[in-house]
Amino acid sequence: MENNTRIGVFFCNCNGKITEKVDFEPIASEVKKLPKVEYVRESQNLCAHLEGELICKEITKNQLNRIVVVGCASAKEEGFFKEVLNKAGLNSHLLSMVNLREECCAVHEKSAKSAAKALELTKMGIARANNLEEVSFGEIPVNRTVLVIGGGLAGLETALETAARGFKVILIEKEDKLGGRLARVNSIIGVDHNPADLLEEKVKAVTSNPTIDVRTNTKLGDLDGNIGGFTAWFVKDGVETSVEVGAIVAATGVQTIFCPVKYGLGIADNVIGQMKLERLLADGKDFTHKRISIVIGKGTEAFNLPFVIAVKNALLLRKKFNATVNVFYTNIKVGGDNWEKMYTDARGAGVNFFKFEDNIEIVANNGEIIVNYEDPFLKGKMPGVFKVIADYIVLPEELVPAEGTDELAKILRLELGPASFFSVDNAHILPEMTSRDGIYLVGSCQSPCFANEVEISAKAVAEEIFQKLDAEQVSTELTQPYVDATKCVVCLTCYRCCPHGAITIEHGEQFKNLYFSAAQMNPLACRRCGICASECPGKAIQLPDYTDDQILVQLEAMEVLP
Ligand SMILES: Cc1cc2nc3c(=O)[nH]c(=O)nc-3n(C[C@H](O)[C@H](O)[C@H](O)COP(=O)(O)OP(=O)(O)OC[C@H]3O[C@@H](n4cnc5c(N)ncnc54)[C@H](O)[C@@H]3O)c2cc1C
Ligand code: SF4
Ligand code: SF4
């Protein structure tokens, strides 16, 4: 505690909301008796602009260096008072907020007990103010190169969008050429171009851009560091190289698994998956007047994409080849822009849709495919098994993450979701965000998506990276936890429990302990959740604004009410 601490306590009655339950006068007279409290004032509405100016003047006039606001404690109001402190030349962290509105008035009737509680809460806030510490800003140097992993549509779009915002880009692709799934599909609904033209245009734009360095047959072998300062090790033909990058975008997409055995069928020319159908269509195969049965569902219902692809191809086969198309489905999921219309168009064009439950049997017989099924809608009126004969059967494929996604997740220190795709951290803030700042997801690697969604995601991620790494130095408040190296035994507990991968173990003579090492929290990657501080067995970690001392003095100031 500083000797020259001078505390100002400002009561706000929140337009009468607080004083209708709690009288400030007895509290104020008790507070005035407390050591270091130099100034007490009550106001009707402390967060009004003019009141802010008045607080500023009183801080200067009374040489106050700690401020306690007794009223509410919403984040918006806290921001307002922090600005007031800044204007008055005080560090904004020398502010203690006491939330009488929610913690007392909203939950108690006016009584002697609630008055006593209000006094206790105010005393706790003042005790905290006594122990507040200044927090400074730091200038963190950052690397402005972005690593994009995966050269499908998502990777290509992301590379172009980030390069357009002035970043250098390194795009790595594990195969020997760019394109991913897009190189193999026949048509893309929702996008004007045909896939081959779209791909050619994107690949040309990427490969001719001097700020984009494309490395094929390359994989990420290891990764160290955090946002603004990652070191990535690439592996190509067994040789390792390292590069420094500031942000990483995973765009590793999906793979399709075709498993006709699941439907009692073997591999045959007329037993195909949607991916193969796309390929045959792209290669110009003629399906004129053919009988084609398409199956949707049975374990592929987790995603929208298989339904939309099936309806898209059913409509195309019907319209272009006048084929007889029968779609057998367990469910139709066509939520999304214009997909519902496409389904209605398919029905209008003469595509037949038959619902089945578990009771479908598919048999290959002399080059024909027979589908036996019971219709749940007709069960009561026309019970029995219906038989549909086809020349081709198109079965749904399983959509699973790209091979090696689990290995990559370990390298990136990211969690995988229930279907083993990369998991999004908070879809409401940014659906492309991972639990680690500086690492983002675009395209199908988080869930199979449509081509038009890829462009939106790539733009959002490029903009986010631009906001985070917009200059070679990033200014940030150093409110991340700090470690007392003399207490750190390098047990790695904090390293393992940090949900945001923000902790590294640093080595050097400056760490005065047996190991010359200590855990360090990265100010750009840390989200100030405080988990590491509460988990450290050596009590070596303190979180600014919530240090052990600040919490303990508040508890000491609290009297347990009967
Ligand atoms: C059968 C089918 C039909 C479709 N039809 C449509 C449609 O009609 N309309 C529509 O909008 N969308 C459609 N899509 C979806 C569309 O193809 C994708 O949205 C689009 O191609 C974006 O894919 P992506 O870049 O995320 O992934 P992918 O195309 O899968 O690309 C991922 C890339 O990353 C590479 N990679 C993977 N792991 C690594 C690694 N560890 N290191 C380096 N590189 C790696 C892969 O080799 C690949 O090149 C269809 C998809 C399928 C499967
Ligand atoms: S948990 Fe504590 S003692 Fe263990 S490494 Fe982290 S700071 Fe050091
Ligand atoms: S406060 Fe949370 S995010 Fe920051 S280093 Fe500790 S555990 Fe990680």
CATH classification code of 478-544: 3.30.70.3270
Cβ atoms 227, 435 nearer than 8 A: no
Cβ atoms 169, 157 nearer than 8 A: no
Please tell us whether the domain made up of 145-255+400-473 is placed in CATH 3.50.50.60: yes
How high does pLDDT run on average in the chain? 92
Nearest CA to ligand 2 atom 1: 536
* Second-level CATH architecture of 259-396: 3-Layer(bba) Sandwich (3.50)
Q: Residue 205's closest CA among 145, 144, 150, 153?
A: 153
Residues framing ligand 2 (Cβ under 6 A): 483, 488-494, 519, 536, 538, 540-541
Q: Residue 147's closest CA among 222, 65, 58?
A: 222
Cα 481 to ligand 3 centroid, rounded to whole Å: 7
Ligand 2 atom at minimum distance from 483 CA: 7
- Render 441-504 in DSSP notation, one character per residue: E-GGGSS---HHHHHHHHHHHHHHHHHHTSSSEEEEE--S-EE-TTT-----HHHHH-TT--EE
Domain-wise residue ranges, the chain: 7-135, 145-255+400-473, 259-396, 478-544
DSSP helix/strand/coil, 553: helix
Ligand 1 atom at minimum distance from 452 CA: 11
Ligand 3 atom at minimum distance from 480 CA: 4
Q: What is the Cα–Cα distance from 371 to 363, expressed in whole angstroms?
A: 7
pLDDT digits (tens, 9 = 90+) for 443-473: 999 999 988 889 999 999 999 999 999 899 9
Indicate the top mutation candidate among 536, 543, 548 to test ligand 2's pocket, ranked by most ligand atoms within 8 A of CB: 536
Give, as one character, the DSSP assignment of residue 402: P
Residue 340 vs residues 57, 226, 307, 335: alpha-carbon distances, Å: 63, 43, 11, 7
Domain at 7-135, CATH from 3.30.2410, 3.40.50, 2.60.40, 3.30.465 = 3.40.50
Cβ atoms 525, 438 nearer than 8 A: yes
Residue 69 vs residues 33, 62, 77, 80, 95: alpha-carbon distances, Å: 17, 16, 10, 11, 8
pLDDT digits (tens, 9 = 90+) for 22-58: 999 999 999 999 999 999 999 988 988 888 999 999 9
Cα 501 to ligand 3 centroid, rounded to whole Å: 8
Q: Residue 229's closest CA among 212, 249, 246?
A: 246
Contacts of 336 (CB under 8 A, 6+ apart): 304, 308, 450
Q: Is 409 in the pocket of ligand 1 (CB under 6 A)?
A: no
Find the ligand nearest to 503 CA. 3
**Identical fold at 145-255+400-473 and 259-396?**
yes
Find the ligand nearest to 505 CA. 2
For residue 448, give the amino acid letter.
P
pLDDT in tens, the chain (562 residues): 556 999 999 999 888 889 889 999 999 999 999 999 999 999 988 988 888 999 999 999 999 999 999 998 888 899 999 999 999 999 999 999 999 999 999 999 999 999 999 999 999 999 999 999 999 999 999 999 999 999 999 999 999 999 999 999 999 999 999 999 888 888 777 666 788 899 999 999 999 999 999 999 999 999 999 999 999 999 999 999 999 999 999 999 999 899 888 888 888 889 999 989 999 998 999 999 999 999 987 666 678 888 888 999 999 999 999 999 999 998 887 777 778 889 999 999 999 999 888 778 899 888 899 999 888 887 777 777 889 999 999 998 888 999 999 999 999 999 999 889 999 998 888 889 999 999 999 999 999 998 888 999 999 999 999 999 989 999 999 999 999 999 999 999 999 999 999 999 999 999 999 999 999 999 999 999 999 999 999 999 999 999 999 999 999 988 765 5
How are beta strands 517-521 and 145-149 bridged, if at all?
A: unpaired
Cβ atoms 150, 253 nearer than 8 A: yes
The full length of the chain comes to 562
For residue 158, give the amino acid letter.
T
How are beta strands 95-99 and 229-236 bridged, if at all?
A: unpaired
